[in-house]
Chains A and B, each alone.
Chain A
């Protein structure tokens, strides 16, 4: 069982690195969706046997939302705004990958230093959770396009979900549903904003908004 858990966690790390290294918007969207699916199957391995019907339902709902609805929304927003399928990073892809490794090292260091009470899952999960959150944050600051920033936001949310999973399963899932609702609204608002930015300015690069004067 531990091998499978490790495999899922490693795959999660790989999706994060792919998010950092990929040059295509659609690939990034698909990667975040894949991340959500991986997180959806994670409870099966964290506590085998303790998966009740309720937990399964909550997991299925959040996976459906994060791997189905949100990517669909983002893809639609990108298509309607006629966004070119390129990520346009402020930090190059190779540098992003190497910085990603540095972030992984940082999260290992922090996870080792944290003395968290009541951790049921293995410590490695906390590392991966922190890493996912940090990568999300990094994507938000280092990518120009609004869609990518929404994706970074989603990755951060995935990290928080994984963090909750490292503790007990059931209560955190409820909290998680609350957060997910926030994220859903945020991505919806982001979709509308992307639409408006692109209608006003023929692009959706948020860094140019700072040149606006009222």
Chain B
């Protein structure tokens, strides 16, 4: 029933996802003239965190414990839906892109209420920013995916992405695809808390968005959050790579290899963006995200015309 390539994609993604932050950090180190951490550093970090105990504040209750678990469960489920270029997702059904947005939203919701559960005003601030920015990023993503759906006349991510890059779709909707790719690129950077929206390295209270919310988690909880965000990087990256790397050979193995190669290139690209750009002013971020939504709407208009 399930094509072997889809299963291989899910397994590979779950195994290789922690490699992506490593590639990003290595690229940033190269730009800064440092040697940088090992590519597999995230695996070592996860291993170390899993062998530590967790400390729970007395003000927290089960919500704080549930946050990382639900988050990881959501993003792994999302992984099952997402196709990688020509490789269809493990699960594919009509309207699954709505479920994808829903799962990412649920993950965010639990991260935020776990942060609020600590009772720290600092984490509440981070949660407020996270929710604000993703409320603006979500329309951009959904409208972009709707444009793709409209161009391929189907409502399932897997069948949408199989058609991208074929001669017919290039000649009818080439410019629209580029617009969607740009919009999804902005969503990718936003949702993964990357420069120019958020700085994953900063620990300065005035600038943090995502890092703030996970400050009180430790040990296995933090490991789940770190692993979850690596998988999320892969999930959103796969949506982008599916458009930008139009390899549709029909051979599962070839498509899969092209897709994984595309993911690594995307990580390098993210590293380049992080090394060459500065963070946007907090007040300019909403405008940036509205611009992404505008690009998506423009793509939708082009496709529907």
Contact = CB atoms under 8 A, between A and B. Distances in A.
Interface in B254-305: 286-287, 290-291, 294, 297-298, 301-302, 305
* Interface size of B as a range: 10 to 19
Contacts, number: 45
A17 B290 CA distance: 11
A72 interface: no
B37 interface: no
A97 interface: yes
Interface stretch (B6-14, B169-177, B232-240): B169-177
Contacts of A13: 298
Interface stretch (A3-11, A52-60, A82-90, A160-168): A3-11
Contact of A17 (B170, B178, B294, B305): B294
B174 A6 contact: yes
Contacts of A98: 290, 294
Interface string A91-119: 00110011011001100100000000000
Contacts of A121: none
Contacts of B302: 6, 10
A21 B291 contact: yes
B75 interface: no
Contacts of B294: 17, 97-98, 100-101
Given A3-B174, A6-B175, A104 B287 contact: no
Given A10-B302, A13-B298, A108-B301, A97 B290 contact: yes
B179 interface: yes
Contact of A101 (B175, B176, B297, B305): B297
A45 interface: no
Interface in A1-35: 2-3, 6-7, 9-10, 13-14, 17, 21
A124 interface: yes
B149 to A, nearest CB: 19
A9 B175 CA distance: 9
Interface of A: 2-3, 6-7, 9-10, 13-14, 17, 21, 93-94, 97-98, 100-101, 104-105, 108, 124
Interface of B: 170-171, 174-176, 178-179, 286-287, 290-291, 294, 297-298, 301-302, 305
Given A3-B175, A6-B302, A94-B286, 18 more contacts: A2-B171, A3-B171, A6-B174, A7-B178, A9-B175, A10-B175, A10-B176, A10-B298, A10-B302, A13-B298, A21-B291, A93-B287, A97-B290, A97-B291, A97-B294, A101-B297, A101-B298, A104-B298
27 contacts: A3-B174, A3-B175, A6-B174, A6-B175, A6-B302, A7-B174, A7-B178, A10-B175, A10-B176, A10-B178, A10-B298, A13-B298, A14-B298, A17-B294, A21-B287, A21-B291, A93-B287, A94-B286, A94-B290, A97-B287, A97-B294, A98-B290, A101-B294, A101-B297, A104-B301, A108-B301, A108-B305
